[in-house]
């Protein structure tokens, strides 16, 4: 049986990368720092801002060189680029005026990194803290070694962006949640990373608090990267990444209440509440279908005629005016979409009811701004197509045959401007 899980797997193998509807808890850096502070882990005192004026004021209060960091749910910000000035998502500023200038080029713009969609992520928050003089960067993490059914500690003397290229320097130490950080683990870390006795006391305290957080919050990953040693000999965590056991939502309500969601995830949730399923693709033709099998066939036929799908919206049996209006709104906001194909096979849901919902939703929105081809087949399809033809809506084309409807939308979008 074809399901939306199978369609996403198939499209992943044969077409452009897509975003599935698997949900993970995402925390912005500022929220992660608050959680670390709760467990007495060393982090800089930071401030969240949403305007250039606020950024200028914060840096004037800090009265020292400061770091400005874009708050997005993706890594690699330091090597990313803004579509405004081409600079990265992590910046050092020396003065309030410099903070204002940089914030102006960050807030309201899109940051692209190796972990974002190709168009980047919209930035509406910045995190600012006093710059730290870094002597060395380290990597500390806790996760689960499923092969040995044991939590494992990961340690490296190459932290920050170097961790990906220096995997060979990673030390893996299994430990027990009941025993925690033993003297043997401390001795191994000190010998391998060369910490002094004084430094090792600080590292031990950090590791003990990491275990406490990891255990009490049902974490599956706790990553401090980088944990830096400053020129003054202090250890400070500059960034962190968390993953939590999704099955522990009922037990960790406070943690999951902190969840940050991207605009796309918010749209997916809104669509799901209306009984719709959403799959994002990498083309420029928006699709509204009913059923995963029809979605696969639509994708293949559009590809055959030289087009590329931007997404699929499966209305299933939920083709109400409200559901279709929401679907149209999402496609309208997607700047990539040059045209829309509505491909519905009416079985239990009658085509005339779907047509009425399409016309009502479109009229409520003030019509369509791009070409829309409607293909209805099945129960009362002739009646439904006639209703749409008589609606008087502009940019609306009806076609009963699947292949012709597909050819039409490809033709309509092939010469459209992006």
Q: Could you tell me the CATH number of the domain that includes residue 366?
A: 3.40.50.261
Q: Is residue 62 part of a domain?
A: yes
| Residue 209 included in any domain | yes
Q: 337 and 246, same structural domain?
A: no
Catalytic residue annotation: 139, 223
Burial degree of 321 (CB within 10 A; 0-12, 13-18, 19+):
middle
Same domain flag for 287 and 145: no
Say if residues 127 and 46 touch (Cβ distance below 8 Å). Answer: yes
Sheet with 311-314, strands from edge to edge, namely 277-280, 311-314, 285-289, 339-346, 372-378, 396-398
Tokens of 8: 């996403």
Same-domain status, 184 and 200? yes
Distance CA 371, CA 340 (A): 6
* DSSP state letter for 284: S
**Residue at which a domain ends, from 71, 97, 130:** 130
Contact criterion met (CB below 8 Å) for 343 and 369: no
Q: Which residues contact 346 (CB under 8 A, 6 or more apart)?
A: 354, 376, 377, 378, 379, 380, 381, 384
Number of Cβ within 10 Å of residue 174's Cβ equals: 13
| Residue 396 belongs to domain spanning | 263-415
Name the pairing type of β-strands 235-237 and 110-112. Answer: unpaired
Q: How many domains is the chain partitioned into structurally?
A: 3
| 319 and 385 co-located in one domain | yes
Residues 320/342, Cβ–Cβ less than 8 Å:
no
Q: Which of 81, 106, 130 is the last residue of a domain?
A: 130
Give the pLDDT of the chain (418 residues) as one tens digit per residue: 444 454 455 544 444 443 434 445 668 888 889 999 999 999 999 999 999 999 999 999 999 999 999 999 888 898 899 999 999 999 999 999 999 999 999 999 999 998 888 889 999 999 999 999 999 999 999 999 988 889 999 999 988 776 766 677 789 999 999 999 999 999 999 999 999 999 999 999 999 999 999 999 999 999 999 999 999 999 999 988 888 888 888 888 888 777 666 566 666 666 767 677 888 888 999 998 888 888 889 999 999 999 999 988 887 766 677 777 778 888 888 888 999 999 988 777 788 888 888 888 888 888 888 999 999 998 898 899 899 888 888 888 888 899 999 999 999 998 655 4
Identify whether 340 is part of a domain.
yes
Could you tell me what percentage of the chain is helix, strand and coil, using 3-state DSSP and rounding each to the nearest 5? 40, 25, 35
Whether 360 is covered by a domain: the verdict is: yes
Please check whether residues 249 and 322 belong to one and the same domain. no
Q: Which two tokens stand for residue 254?
A: 């406070």
Structural domain contains residue 20: no
Asked if residue 205 belongs to a domain, the reply is yes
Same domain, 94 and 140: no
Whether 40 is in a domain gets the answer no
Which of these three, 130, 145, 171, is where a domain ends? 130
Residues 191 and 235 in one domain: yes
Predicted TM-score of the model (pTM): 0.61
* C-alpha distances out from residue 147 to 102, 150, 319, Å: 46, 8, 46
Query: Are 268 and 393 contained in the same domain?
Result: yes
Check whether residue 107 and residue 144 sit in a common domain.
no
**How many Å apart are CA 115 and CA 180, to the nearest integer?**
33
Round to whole Å and give the CA distance between 33 and 72: 14
Q: Are residues 216 and 344 in the same domain?
A: no
Statement to judge: residues 275 and 405 lie in one domain: yes
User: Is there a single domain that holds both residue 231 and residue 274?
Assistant: no
Nearest to 122 by CA among 168, 74, 56: 74
CATH code for the domain in which residue 247 is found:
3.30.470.20
**In sequence order, which residues have a C-beta less than 8 Å from that of residue 261 and are 6 or more positions away?**
26, 269
3-class secondary-structure state, position 317:
coil
- Residue 109 sits in a domain of what CATH number? 3.30.1490.20
């Amino acid at each position: 049986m074809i399901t939306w899980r199978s369609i996403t797997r198939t499209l992943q193998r044969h077409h452009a990368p897509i975003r599935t509807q698997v949900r993970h808890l995402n925390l912005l850096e500022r929220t992660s720092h608050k959680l670390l502070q709760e467990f007495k882990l060393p982090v800089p005192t930071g401030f969240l801002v949403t305007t250039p004026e606020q950024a200028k004021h914060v840096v004037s209060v800090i009265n020292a060189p400061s770091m400005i960091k874009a708050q997005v749910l993706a890594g690699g910000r330091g090597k990313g680029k803004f579509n405004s000035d081409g600079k990265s998502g992590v910046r050092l500023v020396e003065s309030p005026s410099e903070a204002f200038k940089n914030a102006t080029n960050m807030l309201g713009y899109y940051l692209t990194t190796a972990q974002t969609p190709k168009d980047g992520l919209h930035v509406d928050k910045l995190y600012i803290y006093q710059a730290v003089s870094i002597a060395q960067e380290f990597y500390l993490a806790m996760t689960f070694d499923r092969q040995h059914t044991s939590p494992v500690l990961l340690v490296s003397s190459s932290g920050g962006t170097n961790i990906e290229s220096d995997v060979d320097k990673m030390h893996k130490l299994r430990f027990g949640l009941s025993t925690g950080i033993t003297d043997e683990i401390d001795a191994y870390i000190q010998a391998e990373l060369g910490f002094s006795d004084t430094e090792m006391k600080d590292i031990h305290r950090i590791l003990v608090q990491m275990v406490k957080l990891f255990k009490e919050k049902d974490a599956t990953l706790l990553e401090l990267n980088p944990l830096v040693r400053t020129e003054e000999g202090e250890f400070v965590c500059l960034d962190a990444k968390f993953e939590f056991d999704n099955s522990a939502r009922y037990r960790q309500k406070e943690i999951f209440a902190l969840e940050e969601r991207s605009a796309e995830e918010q749209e997916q949730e809104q669509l799901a509440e209306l009984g719709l399923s959403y799959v994002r693709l990498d083309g420029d033709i928006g699709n509204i279908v009913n059923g995963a099998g029809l979605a696969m066939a639509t994708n293949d036929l559009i590809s055959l005629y030289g087009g590329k799908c931007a997404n699929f919206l499966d209305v299933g049996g939920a083709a109400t005016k409200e559901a279709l209006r929401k679907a149209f709104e999402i496609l309208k906001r997607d700047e990539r979409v040059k045209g829309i194909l509505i491909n519905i096979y009416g079985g239990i849901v009658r085509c005339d009811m779907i047509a009425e919902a399409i016309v009502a939703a479109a009229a409520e929105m003030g019509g369509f701004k791009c070409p829309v081809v409607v293909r209805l087949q099945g129960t009362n399809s002739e009646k439904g197509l006639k209703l749409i033809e008589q609606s008087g809506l502009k940019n609306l084309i009806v076609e009963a045959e699947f292949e012709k409807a597909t050819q039409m939308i490809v033709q309509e979008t092939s010469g459209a401007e992006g």
